[in-house]
Every structure is written in structure tokens, then in C-alpha cells.
Amino acid sequence: MSTHTLEEILRPQSIAVVGASGDPSAGGRNFTTALLAQGYSGKIYLVNPKYSEIMGSKVYPSLKEVPGPIDYVISCVPASEVLNILESCSQKGVKAIHLYTAHFSETGRQEAAELEQRILKEARKRGIRLIGPNCVGLYYPQQRISFGDDLPKESGSVGLISQTGGGASNLIHLASLRGVRFSKAISYGNALDLNECDFLEYLSQDPETKIILMYIEGVKDGKRFFNILRQAASTKPVIIIKGGKGKSGARAVASHTASLAGSVKIWETVVTQAGAVSAKSLDEMADLAVSFYFLPPIQGPRVGVVGGGGGASVLAADQCEEAGLDVIPLPTEVREELRSKGIPTWDWVGNPADVSVWGWSGADLGVGDTLQILARNRNFDLLIIFMREPHHRNEQRISAETYLEQYNLKEINQKPLLAVLPDKSLGINDYDDWRWKLMSEVRTQLIAANIPFYPTIGRAAKAARKLIDYYQKRG
């Protein structure tokens, strides 16, 4: 547990959902079902004068009628009702309100912006902290607090701070399909009270969080942000997406969270000088999260690539080199070892090594053995392995265990290892093809073996290079 002041706010003993609803399309239902489905261990109070019961749970007509004390309120009521519930919150000893409620300054309308400011003033007067408005709030799997009933219940070491709620859910889904789990995620929308600096400071001190991801549209206090970011990045990797880099993005930011997008150049200087890592898209952020989550520090850029076909090996070399990796020629010792094992193409094979999953033709040496030889060689800083579905004519089904035995990846503990498995939505006819389900099982087993995987070698190489840069900067 952290000693940061936010700790108390983010670990409430009781939560009230004001504006709870049974209507599937209402936001109130989202938070109600998420808390119930995830099994939040504290007290849950549903509040809405329109209902007496939702999904078997009692509903209170107002906050005042809730019997016990309330630590944390999720507000799903319209903007015009927020000032009213603030007063009740004060009486119930509420420490923080998460305002899912939206349509404030992001509308660009003066009266909405003024209402937002009145809410801030009232909250400050009463000593209540605000998360939002216009956000999905908190996902804290250990406490079973969530903004989505389909988010993983298991905890991990990645903390996320995000100015987009949809993007936060999307990123959690993307990263968790690849094995990443989260300590907590905070979506904070318009940042009326608590803002990116508060949450970043908190996560940087949070012992449950080893890696920090941020999606930011605007920064309220540049100097404070830089100082906290530098401090955070010196202790753990901080990966940032800046939304609103261009003209049109800045316009979109204004109507999304009413943030000032600011200058791209200043932003990039801040991130670089603070030692943080930039990402351009949620996909790249997922790649980086997966990389920092599963890989040890990579000491240098010298990469060995195994298992692509001929053309795939050529493009792999180009893409690794473009990303800033060094695809070194196959070391002499490796070549000699292949020769001593009777590989007929020992003088011909290169790096990338074009060896199929079934091993070398004409020799009893598998792709796994080849990987071992490369892994033992001190000239490589990291290895990348291509993995593909079995050939379509391979009628005999094999298990994920048998598939993975070919590669023997669990034994590669001497070297950082990245796997490339093509990402591919199924065509209608593919649902009956056992090979795709096999590959899903292979993914699950790779996660269990702590091996990160990527949809293309280009994405793997870019992520690896950013990892190398981060650790080199930290020294």
C-alpha cells in the first residue's frame, strides 16, 4: 500500500452508485453490473428514486437514505443534478465522487462550463475530491472495482491513467489477450479536480504498479507534470500516448475532454527529457506494455531471428534494421556447431535463419535445438521466433503442448525472447478449422511461460528497440 493521499480514495470501504439503473443502455447499469459481477468486497449501495430493486439488489431512493457511511460515489445522474447530490455526499462523509456524468465543458457551451466550475467550488468547500467528470473512473481488480464487467478479475503490475474511457477498456482488452494484467486503471476525463499529475504521482509511488501507461489529451500544469514524469520514469517505465498532436486532433480533444492539446514539439521534448517512452497508437501501447511486462532489460540491439520462410526472412531483416535492431551475420561458432550437427546447409544458412518448425531438412535438429544454439551464443542480445499455424494439409490434429515442444521455448532462459504470431480475424469458414483454435491455445501457453507475442515482426522489433532505449537511458 502506498502512503499517497489518493490511496484512501481509491480503496473505498463502500460505494454508492447514484443513478443506478436496470436499463441495459444506461451508464448506471454498467457500473452496477460491473461491481456486482466482479464481486466488489465492500458495501454497494444502489441509489435511484425510480426503482426499489435492480437485479435483486435493494435500491435506495436517495443518498440520505443509505444506512451506513459512504466512501465513494459513482455519479450517473444528469449534469443538472450533480450539485444536489454533492450536498448529500457531504452529509454522508463521502471522500470522493467519480463523475461519470458528462456534458460539461467538453460541449463548448458556456453554461455547461460554468456549472462545471460551480461543482468544483462546492466540492472543494466540502472537502470532496472529484474524478472526472466525463469518464469511466476506476478499475481496481484487487478491490473488484471495475468500469466493465468483462474486464479481467486478476491483478497485475500495470497501472493505466487515461483521458479516454473507451480507449482504456479497449487497451485493457488488447493487453490482457496477450497476458498483461493491471494493478489499477483510472479514467479521468475532463480532469476538473484530480488530474494527470495526481494520478501519475500516485502510481509512481504505488508498490503494486511496476509499469505505467498514460493516454493524455492535455496537461494542466506543465512544470509540475514534467517533474512528476521525470521522477516516475526514473523508477519505472512510463509509456505515453498523446492524443491531439495535429490541428484536427486538437479540435477533437477540445470536444472530447475540453483539454488544451498544446504544442507537439514541447510535448515531445518533455517526454524525451523525462525519460518516458512514447507510443502512437493503442496497438503500439499494447506492444510496449507486453514487452515491459514480460521481458527483462535487453542489453543491446543484436538480434537473432529464426523460423521465417525465405521471403519472410528478407523482410524480417529489413524491418528489424529499420526499427534500429542489428541483424548480425550468423556467428562463426553457430555455423560450426550446425556443421558439427550435420546440417547440410551449414555454410548457407544466415541470420535470419530460415529453418522451418519441423527442423532442418536432411538432419535431426529441430527449430527448438537451433534456438538453443543461438540462445547460448553471447553475440545475441535478443531472439525473435516466428510461429505459424500448422500447414492446412496437416490433417492430424496436434495439441498446443506438442506444437510448443517443437520450439522448446521454456528452455530459452538465457535470452530475451519475442514470438511473432500473425493476428488474423477468422473468415466464416475458419471457425471449423482446428488450426486456429490451436493457435489460440498456443497463445495462452506462451502467456503462461511469460513469453510476449506480437502480430508482426515489425511491431516486435519496434517495441524491442524502445525497451533497449529506455534501459540504456536509465543506465
Footprint of a second copy on 415-434 (CB under 8 A): 421-428, 430-431
What separation in angstroms does the CA of 58 have from each of 30, 31, 32, 215? 17, 15, 12, 37
Nearer to a second copy by Cβ, of 70 and 385: the residue is 385
Among the listed residues 111, 265, 392, 475, the single contact to a second copy using CB under 8 A: 392
Classify residue 394 as exposed, middle or buried by CB count within 10 Å of its CB (0-12, 13-18, 19+): exposed
Among the listed residues 98, 129, 184, 256, the single contact to a second copy using CB under 8 A: 256
Nearer to a second copy by Cβ, of 347 and 475: the residue is 347
Q: Is 439 in the site for a second copy (CB under 8 A)?
A: yes
Among the listed residues 116, 193, 217, 337, the single contact to a second copy using CB under 8 A: 217
What is the DSSP secondary-structure string of 299-321?
Answer: --SBEEEES--HHHHHHHHHHHH
Smallest distance, a second copy to C-beta of residue 87, A: 28
Pairing relation of β-strands 137-139 and 182-187? antiparallel
Q: Which of residues 193-212 bind a second copy (CB under 8 A)?
A: none
From CA 187, how far away is CA 58, in angstroms rounded?
A: 28
From CA 88, how far away is CA 62, in angstroms rounded?
A: 9
Q: Is 345 in the site for a second copy (CB under 8 A)?
A: yes
Among the listed residues 110, 248, 332, 340, the single contact to a second copy using CB under 8 A: 248
Q: Is 81 in the site for a second copy (CB under 8 A)?
A: no
Nearer to a second copy by Cβ, of 129 and 242: the residue is 242
Q: Is 106 in the site for a second copy (CB under 8 A)?
A: yes
Among the listed residues 42, 309, 359, 390, the single contact to a second copy using CB under 8 A: 309
Question: Angle at Cα 119 formed by Cα 58 and Cα 224, nearest 5°?
Answer: 115
Q: Is 339 in the site for a second copy (CB under 8 A)?
A: no
Cis link prior to 301 (omega < 30° from 0)?
A: no
Q: Is 153 in the site for a second copy (CB under 8 A)?
A: no
What is the DSSP secondary-structure string of 372-427?
Answer: HHHHH-TT-SEEEEE--PPPTT--S---HHHHHHHHTGGG--SS-EEEE----PPP
Question: Angle at Cα 155 formed by Cα 135 and Cα 224, nearest 5°?
Answer: 50
Smallest distance, a second copy to C-beta of residue 151, A: 10
Q: Is 25 in the site for a second copy (CB under 8 A)?
A: yes
Cβ atoms of 1 and 207 within 8 Å: the answer is yes
Cβ atoms of 256 and 217 within 8 Å: the answer is yes
**With CB under 8 A as the contact rule, which of the stretches 63-71, 88-96, 314-322, 462-470 interacts with a second copy?**
314-322
| Number of residues engaging a second copy in binding (CB under 8 A) | 88
Nearer to a second copy by Cβ, of 72 and 454: the residue is 454
From CA 246, how far away is CA 248, in angstroms rounded?
A: 6
Q: Is 443 in the site for a second copy (CB under 8 A)?
A: yes
Q: Which of residues 275-294 bind a second copy (CB under 8 A)?
A: 280-283
Smallest distance, a second copy to C-beta of residue 84, A: 22
